[in-house]
């Protein structure tokens, strides 16, 4: 389960969250997102198939919300996660937001799956969030791992309760890697264009382990996030 690390993240306060000063222009939707981190640069491309998440992320970027946020949950072979405003050195700085504890309606698309490099929204668990609404600010990038045919069979049986993974997706999970058991449970709204080597470096960081929330022992911060001209994939 993709855990959230701030209280009341399940509160549905989206209407109060974004500063009215942050406007999205058509040209913003045609750009990539450059994330400068302590470990290097990651370029993200947002999907037009998830317009609510796309525009929300663009507003966060333009407001400077992600600047100085750290990756607070890192699990090698799984994900790197960030977006908790409490990880800022100046905790009171939630630039551009009246209330960061808001959610976004789910935009789970059948055509998207958790292959390596996908960008998705974190959320609270089904028992308190049956609609699978996304955290308004927290996101994760899939590092994942490669699977054997046998391990995918096991995922189908034990994690997907008998639901079958298509042959096409099995091939991707076997050759590229990912996290198949998360499919159709979280909103995927983009992908990494360049910088998976940076994702791998961050994922390899030593943490305090599962009991401590998989927090890196040394902070890895997002220094700055900005919109840039689309890069060639």
| Separation of alpha carbons 16 and 118, rounded Å | 28
Q: What is the pLDDT, as a whole number, of residue 90?
A: 73
Tokens representing 138 are 């927290």
* pLDDT, tens only, 126-174: 999 999 999 999 999 999 999 999 999 999 999 999 999 999 999 999 9
Q: Going residue by residue through the chain (233 aa), what tens digit of pLDDT does each one get?
A: 554 433 333 233 333 344 447 899 999 999 999 999 999 999 999 999 999 999 999 999 999 999 999 999 999 999 999 999 989 987 654 443 444 579 999 999 999 999 999 999 999 999 999 999 999 999 999 999 999 999 999 999 999 999 999 999 999 999 999 999 999 999 999 999 999 999 999 999 999 998 889 999 999 999 999 999 997 76
The CA–CA distances, whole Å, from 35 to 11, 74, 142, 158 equal 27, 17, 15, 36
pTM of the model: 0.89
SS3 180: helix
DSSP code at position 30? G
Cβ pair 135, 120 in contact under 8 A: no
């Amino acid at each position: 389960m993709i855990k959230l690390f701030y209280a009341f993240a399940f509160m549905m306060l989206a209407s109060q969250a974004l500063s009215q000063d942050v406007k999205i222009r058509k040209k913003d939707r045609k750009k990539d997102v450059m994330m400068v981190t302590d470990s290097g640069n990651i370029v993200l491309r947002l999907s037009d198939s998830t317009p609510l998440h796309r525009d929300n992320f663009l507003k966060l970027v333009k407001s400077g919300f992600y600047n100085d946020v750290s990756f607070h949950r890192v699990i090698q072979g799984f994900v790197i996660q960030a977006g908790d405003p409490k990880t800022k050195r100046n905790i009171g700085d939630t630039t551009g937001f009246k209330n960061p504890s808001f959610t976004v309606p789910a935009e789970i698309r059948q055509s998207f799956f958790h292959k390596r490099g996908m960008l998705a929204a974190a959320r609270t668990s089904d028992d308190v969030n049956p609609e699978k609404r996304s955290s308004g600010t927290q996101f994760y990038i899939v590092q994942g791992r490669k699977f054997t045919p046998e391990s995918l069979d096991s995922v189908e049986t034990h994690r997907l309760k008998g639901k079958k993974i298509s042959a096409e997706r099995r091939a991707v999970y076997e050759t590229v890697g990912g996290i198949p058991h998360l499919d159709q449970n979280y909103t995927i709204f983009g992908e990494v264009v360049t910088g998976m080597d940076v994702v791998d470096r961050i994922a390899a960081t030593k943490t305090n382990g599962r009991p401590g929330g998989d927090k890196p022992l040394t902070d890895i911060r997002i220094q700055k996030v900005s919109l840039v001209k689309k890069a060639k994939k």
